[in-house]
Amino acid sequence: MTAATARPNVQLLVVDCLRADHAYREGLARIPAVDRLRAEGFGFSQAIAALLTGCYPLENGVRSHAGHRLAGGLRTLPELLRQGGYRTCAEVTGPPAD
């Protein structure tokens, strides 16, 4: 792959419950890796997004961590990235599956 055809790296770091007044002031959160990622990339201090499908829960059918399935026919961001030649992975924490 040449530099002219190289795709940019994409990393989504989504953190729930990280106080915006601490995360977006240099060094206040005391997480050097996050400070460096923000300095070398870009971030949002406020964002409202349906991150993986572009649809709100009423449209995509997923309203909680368990017991709901994605509505048929929707394509997710990881699927679109893989179609474009990217490798994708996720590290997720949360309540255990039923």
Residue boundaries of the structural domains of the chain? 13-47, 52-91
- pLDDT classification of 5: cutoffs 50, 70, 90: low
Give the pTM: 0.61
Average pLDDT estimate for 9-35: 68
Average pLDDT estimate for 33-46: 74
Q: Is the pLDDT reported for residue 20 higher than 90? A: no
Give, in order, the Cα–Cα distances in Å from 2 to each of 6, 11, 25, 85: 6, 21, 37, 15
**Distance (Å, rounded) from C-alpha 71 to C-alpha 60?**
5
Helix (H, G, I), strand (E, B) or coil at 29: coil
The answer to whether the beta carbons of residues 12 and 20 sit under 8 Å apart is no
**Distance (Å, rounded) from C-alpha 52 to C-alpha 25?**
27
pLDDT digits (tens, 9 = 90+) for 45-97: 666 667 788 888 888 888 877 778 888 889 999 999 999 999 998 887 776 66
Q: What are phi and psi of 77, to 5 degrees?
A: -55, -45
**Distance (Å, rounded) from C-alpha 64 to C-alpha 84?**
29
CA angle in degrees (0–180, nearest 5) for 70-76-81:
160
